[in-house]
Amino acid sequence: MKQATLIFIIVATILANLNVITFADTQLPTPPKVTADSAVLMDATTGQILYSKNMDAAYPPASTTKMMTALLTLENCKLDDVVTIGNDFTQQNYKLLDGNSISIKDGEQITVKDLLHAMIMFSANDAAVALAVHISGSVPAFAALMNKRAAELGCTSSHFANPNGLYDPNHKVSGKDMALILRELLKHPEFSQIATTIHYTLSPTNKTDAADTIKERSLYNEDKMIYKNRPEYYEGIVGGKTGYTIQSLFSYVACANRNNHTLIVTLIHNPEKDYYDEAKSLFDYGFMNYDLVKLYSKGQKVSSYSPKKGVSIPLTASEDVYYELPKGSTEKPQVSIDKKNIPISALKKGKEVLNATLTFNNQKLETFGLICGTTYVPNTIKSSSINYNIIILIIALILIGVVLFFITNFRKRKKLKGIY
């Protein structure tokens, strides 16, 4: 009995230290451990989740909240727009102006570009509030917009209460939801340009006095991953954002790109300030173990549609379609196509008529459109057949007429010869 127990312990120990997980036809190393309470490693192109830990559990995200504020700003404003700060700005919003600040003054006029740099690089809380009020008129109205946009992006576990992440018991975000927000934000190149800027000086404003001119509002980026001379630096970093309050603990979100392969890491509610190391470990795990594979090119035939027997209309991909594949694996995702009738009037070349969805490794990936490859004209084949038959009939009648003509003439000639 003792020997059996000893053998069981030895076998269990060996299995526990194999450090591999099975992925159908290949094996992957065990992902690195993270201390954040909610974490995700996501492919930015496909939305595929390569690693997760309590990904739907929502926690206070601190200043990583500003990623949603940045997204809404880039969707609703131009960089050269001028934000006019209300004369009661500091009084009405004083509870949300703690922490990092660029000391915005009542009545000041600042560009959206400067406010974005201050918010993303320096994590200025007053800059975030100024943008929120500029876009929606008030912080509560902007919070409603944040929640509306989050729902549109597929976020299911989060609720926003302010634009900068200062602690509020009703302000929570999950690792997966933050990854979805960051994925959308990456569609705006201005984000990466700002997030990877090391030093920036705010332009003088209408409230800049002589003392301010001497001491410029100069900003340095708080994300240490972008500094090449620091140990935290990560090659290919596209941008990131740190966050911390006493109640919210530490959070960090970031994106990195290598060889047109972009990954997103979110680490929410971390009791330890080791998020740079954890982010780098997750990025390494993703880049070393996964490949981004193109399944279809834009315009490539995916399927076909038959409006009637004997007719086949090609359906092509509306965009390039990718999926993440573990290195060494030969698996392919499943493609499911909407099963519905397409109105004849919609079967026009270049028109999107159906949707297709990728499913891979039991994970539903994004949906893409299917474009009609040719225009279907009803009765085209039937009409051409009728015309062809009519032509044959006419030719046959002509031939019959010619034959009858010759026969009639031939008989007449014979009769004439008989008379003479």
CATH number of the domain encompassing residue 105: 3.40.710.10
Q: 131 and 96, same structural domain? A: yes
pLDDT at 24: 53
**Is 245 a domain residue?**
yes
Q: 322 and 208, same structural domain? A: no
Q: What's the number of domains the chain is made of?
A: 3
DSSP code at position 99: S
Other C-beta atoms lying within 10 Å of the C-beta of residue 195: 25
Q: 347 and 387, same structural domain? A: no
Q: Is the pLDDT of residue 125 over 90?
A: yes
* Max avg pLDDT among 114-118, 344-348, 377-381: 114-118
Rounded Cα–Cα distance for residues 188 and 183 (Å):
10
Task: For residue 32, give the nearest of 324, 277, 363, 327 by alpha carbon.
Answer: 277
Cβ pair 58, 176 in contact under 8 A: no
- In tens, the pLDDT along 5-24 reads 444 433 343 333 333 344 45
Q: 80 and 38, same structural domain? A: yes
Q: 298 and 177, same structural domain? A: no
Q: 301 and 286, same structural domain? A: no
> Strand, helix or coil at 370?
strand
**Is 400 a domain residue?**
yes
List the CATH number of the domain containing 302: 2.60.410
Q: 132 and 253, same structural domain? A: yes
Domain of residue 280 covers: 32-290
- In tens, the pLDDT along 194-227 reads 999 999 999 999 988 755 554 578 999 999 999 9
pLDDT at 413: 66
**Is 300 a domain residue?**
yes
**Is 357 a domain residue?**
yes
Give the pairing type, strands 313-317 and 363-372.
Answer: antiparallel
pLDDT at 389: 66
Q: 354 and 210, same structural domain? A: no
Rounded Cα–Cα distance for residues 193 and 239 (Å):
8
Task: For residue 125, give the nearest of 91, 101, 160 by alpha carbon.
Answer: 101
Q: 401 and 357, same structural domain? A: no
**Is 235 a domain residue?**
yes
**Is 10 a domain residue?**
no
Q: 194 and 246, same structural domain? A: yes
Rounded Cα–Cα distance for residues 156 and 181 (Å):
12
Cβ pair 322, 263 in contact under 8 A: no
Q: 269 and 158, same structural domain? A: yes
**Is 101 a domain residue?**
yes
Q: 236 and 99, same structural domain? A: yes
**Is 103 a domain residue?**
yes
Task: Give percent above pLDDT 90 in the chain.
Answer: 63
- In tens, the pLDDT along 82-105 reads 999 999 999 999 889 999 999 999
